[in-house]
Amino acid sequence: MILFTASGALAEAFCDQYDCKIISARLMEDKELSENIKKATVIVHNAALIVSDDLGKFVNDNFGLTKKIVDMALKCNPNVKFINISSMSFLKDDENYMDPQSMS
């Protein structure tokens, strides 16, 4: 199962083609987040705070959340593939996304 850490057009496009689950990692309790990570074969971390006037909130919501997800994955599902959506390697070409199972 491909686990998306937030909703959006990208997640929805993949859910049309693959076994996926879309969650709100930011709003989810640790136990529930951990259970979802355990079931995933791929984590696509697409949750992000784009704009904030508060630098502390910006850092916590982006770096802090990413670190939390990576730490949980290392603990409960160390073989899961992790894709940080800021990577443009996610795009196959201008109109298509790559198969997440083939990414490392």
CATH code for the domain of 52: 3.40.50
| 43 within domain boundaries | yes
| 69 within domain boundaries | yes
pLDDT tens digit sequence for 15-31 = 999 999 999 998 999 99
| 86 within domain boundaries | yes
Confidence of residue 88 (pLDDT cuts 50, 70, 90): very low
| 26 within domain boundaries | yes
User: Can you point out the beta strands (E) in the chain?
Assistant: 2-4, 20-22, 42-45, 81-84
The whole-model pTM stands at 0.77
pLDDT tens digit sequence for 34-80 = 999 999 999 999 877 777 788 888 777 778 889 999 999 999 999 99
Give the distance from CA 7 to its chain's centroid.
10
Q: 43 is in which domain, residue-wise? A: 2-97
pLDDT tens digit sequence for 8-17 = 888 999 999 9
| 88 within domain boundaries | yes
| 12 within domain boundaries | yes
Report the pLDDT value the prediction gives residue 91, as an integer from 0 to 100: 57
| 63 within domain boundaries | yes
| 102 within domain boundaries | no
What total number of domains does the chain contain?
A: 1
By three-state DSSP, how is residue 36 classified? helix
Q: Around Cβ 57, how many Cβ atoms within 10 Å?
A: 12
